[in-house]
Amino acid sequence: MVFSELFFVFFFFVLCTAILFFIRTTHRQNAVLLVFSLLFYAWGGPKLLLLLCGMTLICYLGARVIDAFTDVFYKKLGLFVTLATCLILLGFFKYSTFLASSLQGILGFEGTIPNIVLPIGISFYTFQLMSYVVDVFRGEVPAQKKYWILLLYAALFHQCVAGPIVRYQDVCRELESRSLTLPKLSSGITRFTVGLAKKAVLANTCGALVSELWAANALPSATALSVFLGGVFYMLQIYLDFSAYSDMAIGMGKMAGLHYNENFRYPYAASSVSEFWRRWHISLSTFFRDYVYIPLGGNRCSTGRQIWNLFVVWGLTGLWHGASWNYVLWGLYYFLFLVLEKFLLKPKKDPTPPWRVLRICGTLLVVYFGWMLFYFEDLSLLGTALKGLFGANGWSDLYAESTLWNHIFFLPVAMVACAPVIPALQKRLEHLGPAIPQRLQTALYAAEAVAPVLLLALSLIFLVGNTYNPFLYFQF
């Protein structure tokens, strides 16, 4: 089950939200949320639910042990055992096939490599549980005494399978006590419908075009325009798809009285690679910053050690995204640019407008090639695509030109959805305030009220007949 399925939108989630609003106590609301969350997760495979419950139990017991001891040695031992167990489980399910096939390629031994099923969302809920255990060790949060509450935190269907990575310290108080109000419901519905439209109308359209333009059988003869357009549509797709999921998760959280932090802040408006990563998948980048980079020494050490710390972080970031060498290379690709920016270029934080535009264009170029590396797990196909991009098969063809002209109005809409245009307009209107004519104010209020209905209806039109539209980050 995914958020963009009609069954989820019009039955599962509506039923869950309706029940929550008829229940007054947080304790009972939590029980309802847990039941729905476990059903949601088990929908993709009941057996995999045992792994989620088991890993939560390991972290629950580990945190209780850490909290119970006063001796630092035993606290550290409890932390090490708990984290090591989580990482072993994550490594087994996510990376054992990859490691075995890599070793087979290097050593040349014969034998069948077992294909281990990747549990949905294992990277996300593992990181959430590990951050909880570390925070208990650091004394930032008390150990949760109720296993089922910790299981609810790990299994919340809003964000369990594809993020954002929600830290326990951000929601622990609301798990104990919160209120459900009509303003929260209204705000949550608006945010949810925005995400649903981004996914159903924009991201899915981009994804279909990417599948055509970058098809394995089409790439050997693809022209530069065809490959270039595939890259543009993939840039749009991956942002619209993942940010849509985060929008929907944040919106559903608001409707349930829970507040999740923002996961995207218009990363394609960044003027440097480091700024891009302060805006893209914020919950993941801050996780690696707080739980890997800073504990390794962060910036509080020699230049050589800083570079090593960055190397470790970005190697792990790439590996986190998938069990394939292209993801590792993708992480190290950004490592190189971040080191270049940090120690050689040292760009100013507040460039003048003309320089900022040029820097945004340069950053987008880096990100464009980064997404090509990210997309092609088969590196030979990546080489074929790059050859085509630089004109090995000619610069244009009728199919690519017709694709461009057929989507000449769609492209600007998708690009505006990726840029901070609407927030800028809202900020401008707030600044004008009373200067706005009364009729215009009335029209704006009406548009704000009608927009969720229109977005929902538009999404419904695009979803009818579309039986398979998973989110990209489900595979990570």
**Residues forming a β-bridge with 394:** 392
* Alpha carbon separation from 279 to 53, 239, 268, 428 (Å, rounded): 32, 11, 9, 22
From CA 250, how far away is CA 164, in angstroms rounded?
Answer: 9
| pLDDT in the model for residue 467 | 52
Cβ(160)–Cβ(122) under 8 Å? no
For the stretch 139-178, pLDDT in tens is: 999 999 999 999 999 999 888 877 789 999 999 999 998 8
Residue-range domain boundaries for the chain: 6-179, 185-269+373-469, 272-346
Q: Look up residue 11 and give its DSSP letter.
A: I
| pLDDT in the model for residue 293 | 93
**Residues forming a β-bridge with 392:** 394
Catalytic sites, residue numbers: 321
| pLDDT in the model for residue 160 | 83
365: its two tokens: 């170029």
- Determine if residue 178 is left, alpha or beta; phi over 0 gives left, psi from -120 to 50 gives alpha, anything else beta: beta
From CA 219, how far away is CA 228, in angstroms rounded?
Answer: 11
Query: Comparing C-alpha atoms, which of 228, 168, 198 is closest to residue 369?
Result: 228
From CA 358, how far away is CA 378, in angstroms rounded?
Answer: 32
From CA 198, how far away is CA 214, in angstroms rounded?
Answer: 22
Comparing 98 with 398, which gets the higher pLDDT?
398
From CA 222, how far away is CA 206, in angstroms rounded?
Answer: 18
Query: Comparing C-alpha atoms, which of 340, 322, 333 is closest to residue 372?
Result: 333
Residue with tokens 């847990």: 34
> Which helix or strand (DSSP H or E) is residue 90 part of?
helix 72-107
Cβ(259)–Cβ(169) under 8 Å? no
Q: Which amino acid is at 88?
A: I
Residues 6 or more apart whose Cβ sits within 8 Å of residue 17: 185, 255, 256
In percent, the amount of the chain with pLDDT more than 90 equals 58
Query: Comparing C-alpha atoms, which of 474, 130, 417 is closest to residue 266?
Result: 417
For the stretch 90-126, pLDDT in tens is: 988 888 877 877 776 777 666 677 777 778 888 899 9
The answer, yes or no, to whether residue 21 has pLDDT greater than 80, is: yes
Residue 394 main-chain phi, psi, to 5 deg: 100, 170
Burial of 399 (0-12, 13-18, 19+ CB in 10 A): middle
* Alpha carbon separation from 220 to 160, 216, 335 (Å, rounded): 39, 8, 30
Average pLDDT, the chain: 88
Q: Which amino acid is at 153?
A: Y
- Determine if residue 262 is left, alpha or beta; phi over 0 gives left, psi from -120 to 50 gives alpha, anything else beta: beta
| pLDDT in the model for residue 474 | 54
| pLDDT in the model for residue 466 | 66
Comparing 273 with 24, which gets the higher pLDDT?
273
The answer, yes or no, to whether residue 475 has pLDDT greater than 60, is: no
Other CB atoms within 10 Å distance of the CB of residue 430 = 9
| pLDDT in the model for residue 476 | 53
Q: What is the mean pLDDT of residues 404-408?
A: 93
Cβ(250)–Cβ(262) under 8 Å? yes
Query: Comparing C-alpha atoms, which of 29, 55, 309, 363 is closest to residue 175?
Result: 29
Q: What is the mean pLDDT of residues 65-81?
A: 92
Name the 3-class secondary structure at 145.
coil
- Indicate yes or no: pTM above 0.85: yes
Residues 6 or more apart whose Cβ sits within 8 Å of residue 449: none
Sign of CA dihedral 154, 157, 158, 161: positive
Q: Which amino acid is at 111?
A: G
pLDDT band at 355 (very low <50, low <70, confident <90, very high): confident
From CA 240, how far away is CA 235, in angstroms rounded?
Answer: 9
Instruction: Give ∠ CA 22-24-30 in degrees, rounded to 5.
Output: 95
Cβ(331)–Cβ(316) under 8 Å? yes
464: its two tokens: 């009818």
Name the 3-class secondary structure at 167.
coil
Sign of CA dihedral 431, 433, 438, 441: positive
Name the 3-class secondary structure at 392.
strand
Between the two ends of the chain, the Cα-to-Cα distance in Å is 16
Q: 26-42 vs 13-22: helix axis angle to the nearest 10?
A: 170
